[in-house]
Amino acid sequence: MSSALAAPVAAGIPITQRGVAESFVVCTAVGREGKSVRLPGYIRSRTLVVLMGVARLKQVVGALLASDDTSRDGLAYPACLPIALIERATMPDQRVIESTLADVMAALESVGEQRPPGLLVVGWAVLALWGEGDTRVLEDGEGSDEQRVRKWLSVGGPSMEGLDMERRAWRVREGLEYGWSDL
């Protein structure tokens, strides 16, 4: 099974979820001979899985957020969009860093060394099953995206040092969850 599917499952992230994500795209952050790649543009109902994206996180996030489309095909991604950085998926020392495109660089810097291999999951599916879950992302009138993300980041776990739960910018989960370690 491809890590593009196995890693999100092991992290509790459904890359497709009714009411949240109707499709997904898998791409790489590293092109032939180490060149940059053009990333797909933003579609609200789609999850983006980026293989080999951790080492090039700054470039990937920059391309997704850029107002021009020279490194991306289509619309720019919203800064508040959830992203999960999954390192060493399915291993006992798996680490999942969940944040937004705006804050993921600071989140990664806060946890220290990278743990390759890693991949990125970008889109509303990242928050779909956390806590009480949020499977109404594609419905109209369910609140603003910023409110949705604030609620998602404020649920569960200790608050970050110096920040109250209202301003929490990321979550870090260490190890396997959801009964995976029993397998």
Q: Domains, the chain, ranges and CATH? A: 3-182 (3.30.950.10)
Strand ranges, E, within the chain: 23-28, 39-40, 46-51, 72-73, 82-87, 95-100, 118-122, 171-174
pLDDT at 158: 44
Task: Report which of 71, 156, 53 is spatially closest to residue 108, judged by C-alpha positions.
Answer: 53
pLDDT at 182: 57
List the chain pLDDT tens, one digit each, 183 residues: 789 999 999 999 999 999 999 999 999 998 888 787 899 999 999 999 999 989 899 999 999 999 887 889 999 999 999 999 999 999 999 999 999 999 999 999 999 888 889 999 999 999 999 888 889 999 877 678 999 999 899 876 544 444 444 467 999 999 987 565 555
Residue 29 φ/ψ, nearest 5 degrees: -90, -10
pLDDT at 183: 53
pLDDT at 165: 44
> Residue 135 carries which side chain, given as an amino acid letter?
T
